[in-house]
Structure 1
Amino acid sequence: MNIRLWYLTHKWTSLLCTIFLLMLCLTGLPLIFHEEIEHFSGVVEAPLMAADTPDASLDAIVTAAKQARPNDVIQFMFWDAEEHPHITQVSMSERMDTPPDEFKTVLLDSRTANILDVPPPDKGFMYIMLKLHTDMFAGLPGTLFLGLMGLLFVAAVVSGIVLYQPFMRKLDFGTVRKEKSQRLKWLDVHNLIGIVTIVWVLVVGITGSINTLSQIIIAIWQQDQMAEMLQPYKNLPPPTSTGSLEKAMQTARQAVPDMHPSFVAFPGSMFSSPHHYTIFMKGNTPLTSRLLKPALIDTTTSELTDTRDMPWYVKTLLLSQPLHFGDYGGLPLKMLWTLFDMFAIVVLGSGLYLWWGRRKHTDKRISELEQLHLDFAVDLKEPK
């Protein structure tokens, strides 16, 4: 592919995705610090107790949650020991097939089974930022559209790398021609910041595109591995009652001793079957804590039905999520992610400025070849 085709690729992929990428960068800034924002906004925390205080029975927590919302059913139960220690989050709704946006939450103390809070559905600032960033309030079509914009962004970055070499042919690295026109100065800044942040933008762009496929990837897993694990129960009538969650958890811990629970999908919910508690376990290291391993526990007998490592495509999704938001290395990494995010905003904004300036101020006497030289210095003649 010659320089002109690379230039056209860079131009049009950039133009098509820039506005949406700016929106993603702006909404992504508060999402990087969502845990810290939650703490400052007054999210309830568990009271201080002795470090060796034992946890309450999960059956007691189930009973307390049902008392808090007697007309709802429990779909999921979550734990996040790092960000919210000693708190059990229970997601409830009117029906087992209720979509995630309509979940109602009950927060309980894991040690006493006391109810800490029954917050209303979150529709505040962080909810708006998350929805804009993930699907623009358009559901799966919006998510897939943003994934396409992410792929166009990756194409724009790759074509920009190709064009950078001829642009720098007669310039030292990092040169910003302050003595030239305002547009040329911004062109140099645009290219310099773009090449310096190239690894980060590729990582964030690729992982972001992978994340937009999460619903499709999970659906494939449900139709593939999950269906195979549930095959022995396919034609059995649903049980009339469910057994002890505490016993199911003990079975899961024994079956997967080197991991600890991340969340439970209750019988009949989207990640389980009417016959099972599906307990998703996670590892204890920075890497394995991002990976999940389901353990299917029969609700009637509390015995293990099956447990398997997730397939490669689900592991790819699970590992791409923390890379995208930079939330696996503590506050220093979040600060670095914020800095790179702001650099990306400058690159995207300067790209729009350069395009608009060209449309507004291009001299009609400049030939097409000279115009390419003005933008990317591919001609032998230096721009005046």
Structure 2
Amino acid sequence: MSQARLRLWSAVHRWTSLIATTLLLLTCVTGLPLIFHDEIEDWLDPPPARQQPAADAVAPALDALVARALAAHPGHVAVSLGFSRPAPGSTEPPTVVIATGPDPQAPFAQLRRHTFDLRDGTLLQLPPPRTGGFMDTVLELHKNLLAGLPGALLLGAMGLLLVASVVSGVVVYGPFMRKLRFGTVRAGRRARWLDLHNLVGIGIAAWLLVVGTTGAINTLHDPIAAHWRAEVLPQMTGPYRGLPPPGRIGSIDAAVATARAAAPGMEVQSVFLPGTNFATPHHFGVYLRGATPLSMRILKPALVDAATGTLSDIREMPWYVKALFVSQPLHFGDYGGLPMKWMWLVLDLLAIAVLVSGLYLWAVRRRRVAEVPPSRPRGESEAATEGSPSTWRMPKLLALCICAGLGVACVTTDAALKWAADLALAIPLAVVFWFVLRGLRR
């Protein structure tokens, strides 16, 4: 690499980092409690103890449960049903949350929710959902800076700057480290900060790329959902265009059975009643999911004729919707169980350390501190290499471990493979901490 190119990549790394640092620090800090969002919510509002159903209990019909929910709120209509299936080994019962409202397009705040145990139809007295509390505020800050879509798009741009910063940092890492062994932490205040910044940054670079890319994609949630409803959903209902809605809708149980028969091996995630946002005036919108940690986040829509109960259309989601579905678990790390959440917490803290150390190094450079690393690439001949194979051996291994851990955890429910995925993700953390502690002791 020529000296001019090295200077260009260094400038890209410096300025993309500086522009995004403030908002990236905010997202990292707000992301810390969100990693344990479910656990914090359960701690703030402990779920009530649930009795085991009687041995002769009969699973209730969904139509009967909807009728019970509507009886509690005269004048309401059914809006949606959301199903929760417990993970293998969990003591939680399978439940359905039935939302009702004054009309099919009622805003979220006007909906009333009723949670039933699917084993025997018991109405579960759950605490009302928290709105406007601490966790909701943190989530909105993390998603859109409390500024709606413009805030979300701004954060998406910061995510892309993070990706550019990581890529440019990896590019300049080779020339900088070509005379230093991996994990070297030299004496001197600025040199030590610089070496620790490089060590931690290259150690978690693969994770930063994943989180930055998926975070940028997640900020497009609302535009993607609106585009799908406006462009794809009408394509699935072409023959019904211009027809009046049915005078009476059929059975929800029959619609669910029809959708299940059309997608063997998948389970129902949610059902939207005719006239709601994710259905049509003529159809039930039944959304199915797979069985693996990743495929259960990728929904497949089925439209079932509300009058006849026959299948009108079922199709895969477009690639951009699938990209959004995949990005959500990969960004928050909530698909691999509690061990992965703890590692996500550590990785988030390391990302904060990289951002803070980078800001410190920039400030020191501006004050023209006299101490300059002697191995900084200078001159055309010194900058003509991108690093020897030994320079990249350990960073490649750490990146491979991170990718393997994230990938395996996505596609398996096997306990042994999940432990293997956790181990693969833990290796880079152990290596980084070993070299950091060794360097700090010097």
Q: TM-score, normalised by structure 1?
A: 0.88
Residue 117 of structure 1 aligns to a residue whose secondary structure is coil
Q: Contact conserved, 1:277 with 1:296, CA < 8 A, in 2? A: yes
CA distance in 2, matches of 1:250, 1:321: 29
**CA 1:290/1:120 → structure 2, altered by over 3 Å: closer, same or farther?**
closer
Count of equivalent residues: 371
Q: Which amino acid aligns with 1:44?
A: P
Partner of residue 277, structure 1: 284
Picking from 75, 80, 90, the partner of 2:98 is 90
CA distance in 2, matches of 1:98, 1:202: 39
Residue 90 of structure 1 aligns to a residue whose secondary structure is strand
Residue-by-residue CA offset, 1:154-209 (whole Å, 9 max, x unaligned): 001111111111221222211112x21x2322111111100000111101111111
Deviation of the 1:375 alpha carbon: 10
Partner of residue 24, structure 1: 27
Q: Contact conserved, 1:104 with 1:121, CA < 8 A, in 2? A: no
Picking from 135, 142, 146, the partner of 2:155 is 146
Residue 236 of structure 2 aligns to a residue whose secondary structure is helix
Q: Is 2:242 aligned against 1:235?
A: yes
Deviation of the 1:98 alpha carbon: 3.9
CA distance in 2, matches of 1:217, 1:376: 48
Deviation of the 1:107 alpha carbon: 2.3
Q: Is 2:79 aligned against 1:75?
A: yes
Partner of residue 346, structure 2: 339
Q: Contact conserved, 1:61 with 1:113, CA < 8 A, in 2? A: no
Partner of residue 250, structure 1: 257
Deviation of the 1:349 alpha carbon: 1.4
Partner of residue 378, structure 1: 377
Deviation of the 1:311 alpha carbon: 1.9
CA distance in 2, matches of 1:53, 1:343: 51
The percent of aligned pairs where both chains have the same amino acid is: 46
CA distance in 2, matches of 1:356, 1:92: 56
**CA 1:298/1:353 → structure 2, altered by over 3 Å: closer, same or farther?**
same
CA distance in 2, matches of 1:161, 1:56: 57
Moved more, 27-36 or 159-168: 27-36
**CA 1:11/1:69 → structure 2, altered by over 3 Å: closer, same or farther?**
farther
Deviation of the 1:51 alpha carbon: 7.8
CA distance in 1, matches of 2:190, 2:109: 46
**CA 1:75/1:174 → structure 2, altered by over 3 Å: closer, same or farther?**
same
Deviation of the 1:78 alpha carbon: 0.9
Q: Which amino acid aligns with 2:176?
A: F
Q: Which amino acid aligns with 1:231?
A: G
Partner of residue 404, structure 2: none
Tell me how large the CA RMSD over aligned residues is.
2.5
Q: Contact conserved, 2:32 with 2:348, CA < 8 A, in 1? A: yes
Q: Contact conserved, 1:163 with 1:376, CA < 8 A, in 2? A: no
Q: Which amino acid aligns with 2:346?
A: L
Partner of residue 60, structure 1: 64
Q: Is 2:8 aligned against 1:5?
A: yes
| Correspondences of 1:107-186 after superposition (within 5 Å) | 107-110=115-118, 111-117=120-126, 119-177=128-186, 179-180=187-188, 182-186=189-193
Residue-by-residue CA offset, 1:364-383 (whole Å, 9 max, x unaligned): xx7xxxx9x659822279xx
Deviation of the 1:225 alpha carbon: 2.7
**CA 1:71/1:183 → structure 2, altered by over 3 Å: closer, same or farther?**
farther
CA distance in 2, matches of 1:376, 1:194: 18
Q: Contact conserved, 1:78 with 1:90, CA < 8 A, in 2? A: yes
Q: Which amino acid aligns with 1:38?
A: E
Gapped regions of structure 1 (runs ≥ 5): none
Moved more, 31-40 or 327-336: 31-40
CA distance in 1, matches of 2:359, 2:64: 58
Residue-by-residue CA offset, 1:310-360 (whole Å, 9 max, x unaligned): 12222221112111111221111112211111110111111122223333x
Q: Is 2:368 aligned against 1:362?
A: yes
CA distance in 1, matches of 2:54, 2:19: 56
CA distance in 2, matches of 1:103, 1:358: 56
**CA 1:209/1:50 → structure 2, altered by over 3 Å: closer, same or farther?**
farther
Picking from 32, 40, 49, the partner of 1:37 is 40
Deviation of the 1:113 alpha carbon: 4.7
CA distance in 1, matches of 2:106, 2:194: 50
Q: TM-score, normalised by structure 2?
A: 0.78
Gapped regions of structure 2 (runs ≥ 5): 383-442
Residue 96 of structure 2 aligns to a residue whose secondary structure is strand
CA distance in 2, matches of 1:18, 1:251: 51
CA distance in 2, matches of 1:204, 1:27: 14
